[in-house]
Structure 1
Amino acid sequence: MVLVTLVRDYINRMLQDISGMKVLILDSQTVSIVSVVYSQSDLLKKEVFLVELMDSISKSKESMSHLKAVYFLRPTSENIQLLRRQLANPRFGEYHLFFSNILKDTQIHILADSDEHEAVQQVQEFYADFVAVDPCHFTLNIFSNHLYMLPVAMDPSNLQHYCDRIVDGISAVFLALKRRPIIRYQRTSDIAKRIAQESGKLMYQQESGLFDFRRAEISPLLLVLDRRDDPVTPLLNQWTYQAMVHELLGIQDNKVDLRTIGSIPKDQQEVVLSSEQDAFFKANMYENFGDIGMNIKKMVDEFQQIAKSNQNIQTVEDMAKFVDNYPEYRKMHGNVSKHVTLVTEMSKIVEERKLMLVSQTEQELACNGGQGAAFEAVTNLLNNDNVSDIDRLRLVMLYALRYEKESPVQLMQLFNKLAAKSAKYKPGLVQFLLKQAGVDKRTGDLYGNRDLLNIARNMARGLKGVENVYTQHQPLLFQTMESISKGRLRDVDYPYVGNHYQQARPQDVVIFIVGGTTYEEARSVALLNSTNSGIRFILGGTAILNSKRFLKDLEEAHRQIRSSSTGV
């Protein structure tokens, strides 16, 4: 519950101490921060009758002096300038200003100078500068997520802005947790090193007083990783509920947009998937697809029993009882139809794209050796007209990552076949992935062939067989967390920032992945946290990836690098 609870508590404190009718004013990023932890009905209970975006408020001239304005904004120079203009001509009765991160002294002076009408009642920092999608998983929703792949010299100002946003998000997490961490980073990644060092500078030098929580207990660990250390996880099809919905339909701020799908009822066109608001989803978000179907059938059967009993309304007492239970009945009805719709749509996609066939080969490429058999399987799928362009591309990428050093001739054959079969294929994209995330660039033992313990583990798993061929893959993050738990994270691969070293095993670990996280990794974190190992892991990243988003980022970075080198 940790992150969701922290952000909810901040919003509660913002709204409950201000009596009367309120308007809540958000920016394009804080609207996501609030929406994942607070529903519309929660806001109404706090007498918030209007939610507006900062941009639209700036354009309106209408006076609303009967309302108290509660602003919750990121402390950007753009927001401060918009606020300055709004305070010059106040439209609301009172102004209560809350910022999601640290305000600069200059920004405070600008606000003080602008408040000539003395409309501002309070200015506070509430450190919720991250989107808490799940209790132990957060994202920064950074739009230009591809920037981490660009050379520093190519776009220094945008890259600095990107790094600043990450450091802001990480520092807000630790300010909300009221802890100052020991910081480590992935040695092979320049951007991970830069973010780790800038985070250390902020927490130990520039704002050391703010982070001085005076606790004698063991410091938490912040570990900064680079997505390119594990390019396999975001390329795979997923077969557990939350990850699969994101892969096939897309989740944004815990919402699934179904408007592009045929005849969906109006109330089902955008559905919320939140472990906080939906008990069925919370119980099933990490279950595999086969079990989900069975569990939804049970839920439908239960609902039909309740619906049948509601048809037997014969007395006034029966009617009163039904009316009392009606909100719950409606909620259950909405939940049943939501999950039935999602599973039905995903089943159609699985069938259309022959994903069971595709995924079996993907998992073999990710988890098992055997280059000859892999080449034959990928070739057959490239020749299969039912396999989509995106699935062909992912298969060749997974093969290239696995066998880049072993079979250059066969790899070239696959490149040629891919170009011939897929009109949308961008030449050089697979080679660009290898330049970005090939074996020479990675720190971790992605395929378990360097470390004797991993080789033994893979052999044992191969002998025992796997319960489900579609979910045998484990992200590299799982091994990293195991190494932390056992005190085996190598200093040479993951150096410390400054002179701050971990003396004992940490109890809280925040792992931040520059370039984005996946729901498969979030599932690994949740499962490991549920074992009560004495360590609580929190996962964060610049975005939440599915294969489509990962490929889009790769394509955008490739395009920018090519155009800068050709001068186009």
Structure 2
Amino acid sequence: MVLTSCVRDYVNRMLQDISGMKVLILDSQTVSIVSVVYSQSDLLQKEVFLVELIDSISKSKELMSHLKAVYFLRPTSENIQLLRRQLANPRFGEYHLFFSNILKDTQIHILADSDEQEAVQQVQEFYADFVAIDPYHFTLHVPSNYIYMLPAVVDPSTVQRFCDRVVDGLAALFLAFKRRPVIRYQRTSDIAKRIAQEASKLMYQQESGLFDFRRTEVAPLLLVIDRRDDPVTPLLNQWTYQAMVHELVGIEDNKVDLKSIGKFPKDQEEVVLSSDQDSFFKTNMYENFGDIGMNIKRLVDEFQQVAKSNQNIQTVEDMAKFVDNYPEYRKMHGNVSKHVTLVTEMSKIVEQRKLMIVSETEQELACNGGQGAAFEALTNLLNNESILDVDRLRLVMLYALRYEKDSPVQLMQLFNKLASRSAKYKPGLVQFLLKQAGVDKRTGDLFGNRDLMNIARNMARGLKGIENVYTQHQPLLFQTMENIVKGRLRDVDYPFVGNHFQQGRPQEVIIFIVGGTTYEESRSVALQNTSNTGVRFILGGSSVLNSKRFFTDLEEAQRVARISTSVV
């Protein structure tokens, strides 16, 4: 169950059996699905000379009968209507239609009726309706991600679209892997329960024939949980490479846009960070920031050795050898430049925002007790002129989540201090977070202080010492995976849907977080998968979060909640 290989195989199958010059036509979501597993040079090797969005193609009238059109689209009603109009006046020599999910019978009839000139050569379902950003981590890029916080407030049709997109993505995943899972969900989350029930209905009733695969000894497990059970992880600064890039700069479909943080040469304004396409990144994506600097120094040294040897071109044979190796030389040069640039820029941001001081307090709040010391450290940071508003807000949120029941007076003092120091961020957002994800709303033992086993585990970690004060935090997901491996995931907290119970420990587990995943959590999954427990995990979510995106979702949910309250 490797996500990137699965999607790449689908794209290969789409393109390799169609000979000649091709145009690949995508929609706004399948362009993400393809781009994370297939590079521009990969497409050229498959004779794809043009990549277009279906909306753009609709506006053009130019005939291109020398090209074969390969469409890869989500089977939405909008896409079907666009296709219907394009088939009525075909511009390409052939049409090969591939859909990322299950086509309805009515949609097939619409396409058949539209193809009066018999330009369509094939129609197939290729179940790649998810963005495979890493081998064991996917996202669905669900629009309006904040909706998961307000299922009872938002317009029911909007909530239904949100749930439909998640169920579609999960269905495609299991169809791609030819599995039908047992499904569990977080008891305290209405939206997780709804998605779990609708996914079960689709797989066991509406499309039971499609999901009737050969049974494995123990069925795979799909666990649907809610981001609000662990609001701490998306609030923390990160100090491992991939997670840190996303937190400080941002990653979208494995691409990093550097234009937002400075001026760079044209070829460095956007860089690709893909574990499939970049061996240095694959080796270092989960390493600590301190180690990354030393590893990049070694990369630079290696490149300089290669560059020096290439300067010693004295014969025709030397020249021929250099030309043969030139693509690799250029690739290595680009790789070195990219990683040096990223680490240099992130070092500047860390220094400017005093993130080492901020992060040390964040980690103390997330991982250790000591309310008095935490209050004092936090008060000092709120008074520090060098600390940005957004970092002040992050710290107060972490304190509030940790001590909401223990220190209401001190919490109010911090709210007032935040309001006076940070005009942009009012304390109402912290209170809204507590309403959404406070201790009364959470299922898991977020701070490891309720369950005796977790208290003992935290004490043991403290006695052993922490290798790096900035990376001592473990997301709640780590504990959830551990409970699954040891058969300790409680039925009362994570009920099964319907009568489909699980006998024995699952060997394949997909955990879906409604509200979004983080790269810290995907790192936990990757490390868990290397630990030889006999259980393989895949992580997915409705989006990929950093603190900025988490704040955006929170602010949007707060705005919508206020509007609905005023209407009532």
TM-score calculated relative to the size of structure 1: 0.99
**Aligned residue number for residue 417 of structure 1:** 417
Indicate yes or no: 2:134 matched with 1:134.
Answer: yes
Q: How far 1:563 sits from its partner (Å)? A: 1.3
Matches within 5 A, 1:526-545: 526-545=526-545
CA RMSD in angstroms, aligned pairs only: 0.9
Q: Does 1:178 align with 2:160?
A: no
For residues 194 and 128 of structure 1, the distance between their equivalents in structure 2, rounded to whole angstroms, comes to: 23
Q: 1:108: which partner in 2? A: 108
Looking at structure 1, the residues matched to 164 and 344 of structure 2 have their Cα atoms a distance apart, in angstroms, of 42
Q: Does 2:428 match 1:428?
A: yes
Structure 1 residue 345: deviation in Å?
0.4
Aligned residue type for 1:235: L
* Cα distance in 2 for residues equivalent to 1:348 and 1:90: 53
Matching residue of 1:488: 488
Task: Report Cα offsets for 1:61-119 as digits up to 9, x if no partner.
Answer: 11111111000000000000000111111111111100000001111111111111111
- Whole-angstrom CA distance in 1 between matches of 2:96 and 2:305: 49
Q: Does 1:382 align with 2:382?
A: yes
Pairing 1:360-375 to 2, within 5 Å after superposition: 360-375=360-375
Q: Deviations over 1:472-512 (max 9, x none)?
A: 00000000000000000000000000100110110100000
1:325 Cα shift? Answer: 1.0
Residue aligning to 2:61: 61
Partner of 2:260: 260
Structure 1, residues 146-193: CA drift from partner, whole Å, max 9, x if none? Answer: 000114243211110000000000011100010000000000000000
CA distance, structure 2, for counterparts of residue 463 and residue 136 of structure 1? 32
Q: Distance in 1 between matches of 2:216 and 2:330?
A: 50
Match of 1:83 in 2: 83
**Structure 1 residue matching 2:532: 3-state secondary structure:** coil
Report deviation, 1:262: 2.8
CA distance in 1, matches of 2:106, 2:336: 52
User: Does residue 407 of structure 1 match 2:407?
Assistant: yes
TM-superposition CA deviations, 1:289-331 (whole Å, max 9, x none): 0000000000001111111111111122211111111111110
For 1:439, what is the secondary structure of its paired residue?
Answer: coil
Question: 2:236 is aligned with what amino acid?
Answer: L
Distance 2:74 2:555 in 1: 30
Q: How much has 1:558 moved relative to structure 2?
A: 0.2
Aligned pair 1:326/2:354, yes or no?
A: no
Q: Tell me how far apart the structure 1 counterparts of residues 325 and 122 of structure 2 sit (CA, whole Å).
A: 42
**Alpha-carbon distance between aligned partners in 2 of 1:406 and 1:152, rounded to the nearest angstrom:** 30
Deviates more, 1:419-428 or 1:484-493: 419-428
**Whole-angstrom distance in 1 between the partners of 2:183 and 2:262:** 49
Question: Contact (CA 8 Å) 2:136, 2:526: kept in 1 or not?
Answer: yes
- SS of equivalent residue, structure 1 residue 294: helix
Q: Determine if contact 2:418/2:426 at 8 Å carries over to the other structure.
A: no
Q: In the alignment, what sits opposite 1:248?
A: 248
Query: How far apart, CA to CA, are the structure 1 residues paired with 2:124 and 2:111?
Result: 12
Identity of aligned residues (%): 85
Deviation at 1:531, TM superposition (A): 1.1
1:308 maps to a residue whose letter is: K
Alignment of 1:115-264 (within 5 A): 115-264=115-264
Cα displacement (A) at 1:464? 2.0
* Rounded Cα–Cα distance in structure 2 between residues aligned with 1:179 and 1:427: 46
Q: Which runs of 4 or more aligned residues in structure 1 lie more than 3 Å from their structure 2 counterparts after TM superposition?
A: none
Give the stretch that moved more between structures: 458-467 or 239-248: 458-467
Stretches of structure 1 lacking an aligned partner (at least 5 in a row): none
Q: Identify the residue that residue 301 of structure 2 maps to in structure 1.
A: 301
Q: What number of residue pairs does the alignment pair up?
A: 568
Q: Is the 8 A contact 2:27 2:55 kept in 1?
A: yes
User: Which residue identity lines up with residue 404 of structure 2 in the other structure?
Assistant: E
**Alignment gaps of 5+ in structure 2:** none
Instruction: Give the corresponding residue for 1:285.
Output: 285
Alpha carbons 2:203, 2:211 under 8 Å: kept: yes
Q: Secondary structure at the match of 2:38?
A: coil
Amino acid aligned to 1:77: S
Q: How far is 1:426 from its partner?
A: 3.1
